[in-house]
Structure 1
Amino acid sequence: MVPAIALVAATALGITALLGGLSEATEEPDPLGQGAVLDQGLYSTKFVESRVKVEPPENDWDEEKRFVELVFDVTNQADDTFSVGAPPVRPEQAHLATSFAGSLIKISPAFDKEAGPFAYALSKGGETGQLFPGVTSQVVVRYELKNGQQPPEKITMDVAAFEFAPDFNNNLPRWTMVTKEVGDKFAPEVKARVTLPVKEGDPA
């Protein structure tokens, strides 16, 4: 007679083989929320909040504007200056980016093209498109809402990471996005999936 424990082991191995093996099991990215800090290699990022920002009209013939803003505290951990950038229009092109916002490879729900995104870092009361070495900057990524459009209750982001590795062409190390092969192409590897509630905000 075959011992019961051997039968269980054989059954488990059979199921594993049927599903394609343990090594091929799909791993879900780390789920994160408001206030979480993520080490992206090139950047250390705190996910501060998502909010609605209302900007009153600048004059009598102008109209009030409303934005959904994603707010981050971003520290450039490299020795060089990198750009704030913008979230990719198409996720399959994101692997070429080294900018911070370029690592936000998917934002759900998606906004219309006319809505943005607009991305910048705050620096001494002004706006800049640069992230300086060793400096923590507050970064804002915003989308404009149409007149009467309701903001989403929450926003979910798929976030990529970067690695300092030898370049394929000349073997010199540089920062590149962590990728995986999908067929004959490369796609960003999702480091974390972050969900933020969208809070109603006060006028700017």
Structure 2
Amino acid sequence: MTVGVLPSGAMMSSPRGSRRRRPVLVPVASAVVVAGIGLTAATGGLAQASEEPPPKVAPGKVIDQGQFRTQFVKAVDTTEKDSYGGSKRYLKLTVQVTNLGDETVGVGVMRKPGDKVMQIPFSFAGSILRVRPEPKTKYGPDISVMSFGMESKQLLPDLMKNVVLKYELDPAATAPSTVTVDVGRFVYEQLGIRDQAHYWQLVGDDDGDTFVPTVAAEVTLPVTQERG
């Protein structure tokens, strides 16, 4: 399987039905710099890198996730009014996401650190393998699709939408200066002999007991202060 490179620095998705399980993304000049990270383990940690480390992608550059075309735009420390007239503080990550599949997909929810990674997550959030430093919140981030001031949980095919990951922060907490996100990549292929239907599946290593997804790209966003 060949991964095409667009002149703009974006990487073309592989044709559906590709049987190769572990495609390697090609570094792109000025957008992708090789960095050593390794594989995100199913327990939420990192496994030792066995081959090439994942590419580092600059903020705003396109990441080819197979099922999604993704751009991590910004991270802000901000406050917002709540429904009771008070205010709450948030760390917000804005991501531009285009669903390249034929069906509507939910944004989903982030798994908790330590939870098992699902090979078929049926959501965009399932492709976010790790956020570090992980903001300390009770329920994890609220993830929504924002469009013309309206909020939803669905990504329609072929439409680029702003997806916002919103972590509630303690008012006295010190926000990180940067946030680094590891993301996976999907392939569209048959699940197995018994189930011959095709699904978008995360690329990774599966020994039958444990699935370890491959980190396809790493993005580091500077955290800026924004007045709510």
Q: TM-score, normalised by structure 1?
A: 0.80
**1:3 matched residue in structure 2:** none
Of residues 106-115 and 159-168 in structure 1, the stretch that sits farther from structure 2 once superposed is 106-115
Structure showing greater radius of gyration is 1
**1:20 matched residue in structure 2:** none
**1:84 matched residue in structure 2:** 107
- Residue 57 of structure 1 and its aligned partner are, at CA, apart by 5.6
Q: 1:188 aligns with which of 189, 213, 218?
A: 213
More helix by share: 1
Contact 1:91–1:106 at 8 Å: present in 2 too? no
The gaps in structure 1 that reach 5 residues or longer are 1-23
Q: 1:79-124 CA deviation, whole Å, 9 max, x = no partner?
A: 0000111222135324331311211111100122426310000123
Counterparts of 1:182 and 1:166, CA distance in 2: 17
Q: Which AA in structure 1 matches 2:97? A: V
Counterparts of 1:128 and 1:159, CA distance in 2: 22
**1:117 matched residue in structure 2:** 141
Over the residues paired in the alignment, what is the CA RMSD in angstroms?
Answer: 1.9
Q: Percent of pairs identical after alignment? A: 33
Q: 1:42 aligns with which of 50, 67, 76?
A: 67
User: Match of 2:117, SS?
Assistant: helix
Of residues 50-59 and 103-112 in structure 1, the stretch that sits farther from structure 2 once superposed is 50-59
Contact 1:87–1:103 at 8 Å: present in 2 too? no
Q: 2:186 aligns with which of 149, 152, 162?
A: 162
**1:73 matched residue in structure 2:** 96
User: Match of 1:73, SS?
Assistant: strand
Q: TM-score, normalised by structure 2?
A: 0.72
* Paired residue total: 178
Structure 2 CA distance for partners of 1:162 and 1:63, relative to 1, 3 Å: same
Which 4+ stretches in 1 moved above 4 angstroms? none
- Residue 159 of structure 1 and its aligned partner are, at CA, apart by 0.3
Q: 2:77 aligns with which of 52, 65, 77?
A: 52
**2:224 matched residue in structure 1:** 199
Counterparts of 1:49 and 1:197, CA distance in 2: 7
- Residue 147 of structure 1 and its aligned partner are, at CA, apart by 2.1
User: Match of 2:216, SS?
Assistant: strand
The gaps in structure 2 that reach 5 residues or longer are 1-48
- Residue 183 of structure 1 and its aligned partner are, at CA, apart by 8.0
Counterparts of 1:93 and 1:132, CA distance in 2: 24
